[in-house]
Structure 1
Amino acid sequence: MSETKADSKNKNPKKVNLSDHSSIKHLLDESVSEIVKSRGYVENTRLSNLKLLIGTVVIIIALFAQFYNKKFPENRDFLLGCIALYPFSLVVSYTKDKNAILFTHPPAGAFSTGLVVSSKLPRFSDLYTLTVASADPESISANKPVEFTKSVTQWFTKDGVLVEGLFWKEVDGLMNDYAKEPKKSK
Structure 2
Amino acid sequence: MQEKKEEMASTKTPKKTNLLDHNSIKHLLDESVTEIVTSKGFPEDNRMSNIRLLIGVVIIVIALFAQFYNKKFPENRNFLLGCIGLYPFRGVYVVFNGLLQLIIYMKEKNAILFTYAPSGSFNSTGLIVTSKLPRFSDMYTLIIASADPQSISAKAPVEFTKSVTQWFTKDGVLVEGLFWKDVEGLINEYAKETKKSK
Q: How far does residue 95 in structure 1 lie from its aligned partner after superposition?
A: 1.5
* Unaligned ranges ≥5, structure 1: none
In the alignment, is the contact (CA less than 8 A) between 1:62 and 1:82 conserved in 2?
no
Q: Which residue of 2 aligns with 1:16?
A: 17
Alignment of 1:53-132 (within 5 A): 53-68=54-69, 71-75=75-79, 76-80=81-85, 81-85=91-95, 86-112=97-123, 113-132=125-144
Normalized against structure 1, the TM-score is what? 0.90
Q: For residues 104 and 9 of structure 1, do their structure 2 counterparts lie closer, same or farther at Cα, with a shift above 3 Å needed? A: farther
Percentage of identical aligned residues: 62
4+ runs deviating over 4 angstroms: none
Q: CA deviation at 1:160?
A: 0.8
**Residues 1:153 and 2:162 aligned together:** no
Q: Secondary structure at the match of 1:102?
A: strand
Letter in 2 for 1:79: I
Question: Partner residue of 1:44?
Answer: 45
For normalisation by structure 2, the TM-score amounts to: 0.84
Following the alignment from structure 1 to structure 2, what is the Cα–Cα distance between the partners of residues 30 and 9? 21
Unaligned 5+ runs, structure 2: 86-90
How many residues align? The count is 184
Change over 3 Å in CA distance of 1:74–1:121 after alignment to 2: same
Identify the residue that residue 181 of structure 2 maps to in structure 1: 169
Q: CA deviation at 1:142?
A: 1.0
Deviation, 1:2, is: 3.2
User: In 2, are the aligned partners of 1:143 and 1:179 still within 8 Å (CA)?
Assistant: no
